[in-house]
Structure 1
């Protein structure tokens, strides 16, 4: 009997070990942190508030570089948001991430203003208005202006900033959980469930949602069950790029660290093999690996922070073009269902974006346009046909029938394959 007890104790210790942040794991997290910092110097386009948020929630800091990035957010990203607001574009998610990024630096949110309807109003006022517009759209169209991921981000940002979230706003999120509206096409959106879990947990912790306390608890329980049910044999929840937010949500909703051990180990394994080379991907796994979630922003005080993180100079890596090529078949399926197939020989290890550029340059009738996002460029129009968020459509990418989990710039062409680009509704 005693031997069974000893074995049980050893198994418990073994299962908890992958969550240990000391030793080699600490070295890995430090490396991820440095990669995020380096991305600030090489980033294209607008500064990324998600990256800033992860840097600020980390255990390690380079306060000077973080301060520089904060200034870029307050200038470059601020101006872009102002332009979107002036054009009456729905940007609840970006406003929310901007709010969380500023809050993570303990910045006074009341000093951040935007001009709208010919008057100056604070960031939080604009975010509340965006959420009201989203809520009204759900009431009439049974879906947000943007999507439930952005809607959840909005609820989380308001709550984490100490703003009481309107019961009607949070009720719409609770109802969406109940009606299973967190789907992208036919598949469950793990990212949306995770963000909704953190948002509703924040509302619960604030104690302001007393009217429907039972429904709130049921929604949180449902989300947790969905996340756990989506855990694969290798530990990932959903896929490699949704696991970070899923673990954050589970921790926020009260899961013990040991409950997430397999998922944390899966992220560490992938991090060591450089799966998370996209800064956006790193920004979502780093808080989770350090056993934190975006809810930590609410109580962040920015006092006595470590400031020892130094970036060592690194030799630039010269990537020589591959001499070998692989044949890529590119199938474009329009919204009408008609399909056309092209062929292009692309250098091995080139990105899908580079392959599409080569195909476009062949002048065989294939054209495309792209737009930027926090994850990198995405296809907005192919062969003259658009797939717009306003029409609830997007270009779905797959390789030999398997959906891609990476964007056009991150996905590498390693072997001959058939890429399908399909105009899809959601």
Structure 2
């Protein structure tokens, strides 16, 4: 009887631990942590606040490098947001990530200001105004100025920073969840469900939503069900690159071991096979593997922190061009539906970006332009036609009919295939 009681007690204890897994993986976590820290040395474009969040949520730190990155955020990213605000551009998502990054370093957000029309106001004041504009746009056109992922980030950043979120702002997110409006094109967006789940869980925990508590609980339950329903047989949720945020959301919403242990195992397996070589992918996966979520930022105290994370010298990697060539057919489908096809032989293992550069150099009428993002370069124009976020359009990439989960800089051409680049609305 004593043995039975003991076993029962152990099972009860295990089931009560959110998303617990079999043992820890310190070597794997440390490797990812170092890869993320090392990415700061080769980072192009604006400093990435998502990388800063992941570094700060880790138990291991390199205080000097993190401080340098924080200073870059406060200068370069700050100036970029200031320019966007000056030109009346919607930047709720980027501003929210900036606030979360500062908060993760226990920085006083009241000292961060932006100037519009000669009037200086704090970052959080501007973010609240951005969210009001987003909310009003939903009331007018049934969608945010940006998208529901950025809208969720805005709610989350305000809530984590201790700012009471307007009930009407939260209500719009709740209704969007109920009406299944979290889509990218025609596909359900696991990333958006995850971010919305963390945002609304924070609102619930704060006790500030006085509109309808039952409505909030129902939305959270629906979000959780959507996330779990998106889990594949291999444990990944949505795809390999959305699993990190999805598990973060499950952690934040208090899921038990049975609901995300398989996804934890899937992320560990993918990490060991270097699937997460993109720093942005690591930044969303590492906190989840360490059983943290963006909600964890709310309780960070930045006291007596570890400072033992040291980067060993790394020998430069020499990438040898393969002698094996594979043929890639690139089909471009414009917004009107007109299609044009091009072919090019590329060295096996080339990135899609390298393949497009080779194709452009052949001078066969194919041209493209790219822009930078937190995930790396993305296509902005093909043959002179743009697919701009401001027009709610993007270039959808697929290989032999299957949508790509990686960007043009990360996807590798290892065999002959047809790449379709389609101007798509969302």
Q: TM-score range by the shorter chain?
A: over 0.9
Structure 1 CA distance for aligned equivalents of residues 408 and 213 of structure 2: 43
The residue matched to 1:396 in structure 2 has which SS? strand
Does the CA-based 8 Å contact 2:91-2:130 persist in structure 1? yes
For the pair 1:344 / 2:338, whether they are aligned, the reply is no
- Are 2:92 and 1:92 aligned? yes
Matched residue, 1:285: 285
1:118 Cα deviation from its structure 2 partner: 2.0
Farther off after superposition, 242-251 or 385-394: 385-394
Alignment deviations for residues 100-147 of structure 1 (CA, whole Å, 9 cap, x no partner): 000000000011111112211111011111111111110100000100
TM-score, normalised to structure 1, is 0.96
Q: Which runs of 4+ in 1 moved over 3 A?
A: 1-18
Deviation at 1:83, TM superposition (A): 1.1
Q: How does 1:191-202 map to 2 (within 5 A)?
A: 191-202=191-202
CA–CA separation in structure 2 for the residues paired with 1:281 and 1:51: 9
Q: 1:132 to 1:14 in 2, by over 3 A?
A: closer
Partner SS state of residue 88, structure 2:
coil
Paired residues for 1:98-113 under 5 Å: 98-113=98-113
Q: Give the whole-Å Cα distance in 1 for the aligned partners of 2:23 and 2:32.
A: 13
Residue 21 of structure 1: how far off its partner (Å): 5.0
Q: How many residues align?
A: 424
User: 1:155 maps to which residue?
Assistant: 155
Corresponding residue for residue 21 of structure 2:
19
CA distance in 1, matches of 2:211, 2:335: 44
Question: Which position in structure 1 is the counterpart of 2:52?
Answer: 52
Would the aligned equivalents of 2:167 and 2:210 in 1 still touch at CA under 8 Å? no
**1:75-95 CA-partner distances (Å, limit 9, x unpaired):** 111111111111111110000
* 8 Å contact from structure 2 (residues 371, 377) kept in 1: yes
**Counterpart of 1:120?**
120
Alignment of structure 1 residues 318-397 onto 2, 5 Å: 318-397=318-397
TM-score if structure 2 supplies the norm length?
A: 0.96
Shift of the 362–2 alpha-carbon distance from structure 1 to 2, 3 Å rule, reads farther
Cα distance in 1 between the residues matched to 2:270 and 2:380 = 29
1:286 aligned counterpart, secondary structure:
helix
Equivalent-residue separation in structure 2 for 1:8 and 1:384 (angstroms)? 66
The equivalent of 1:416 in structure 2 is 416
Over the residues paired in the alignment, what is the CA RMSD in angstroms? 2.1
- Structure 2 unmatched ranges of 5 or more: none
Classify the secondary structure of the residue corresponding to 2:40: helix
Tell me: CA distance 1:382–1:255, structure 2 relative to 1, closer, same or farther (3 Å): same
Measured in 1, the distance between the counterparts of 2:222 and 2:233 equals 21
Please say if residues 248 and 287 of structure 2, whose CA atoms lie closer than 8 Å, have aligned partners that are also in contact. Answer: yes
Change (3 A) 1:251 1:121: same
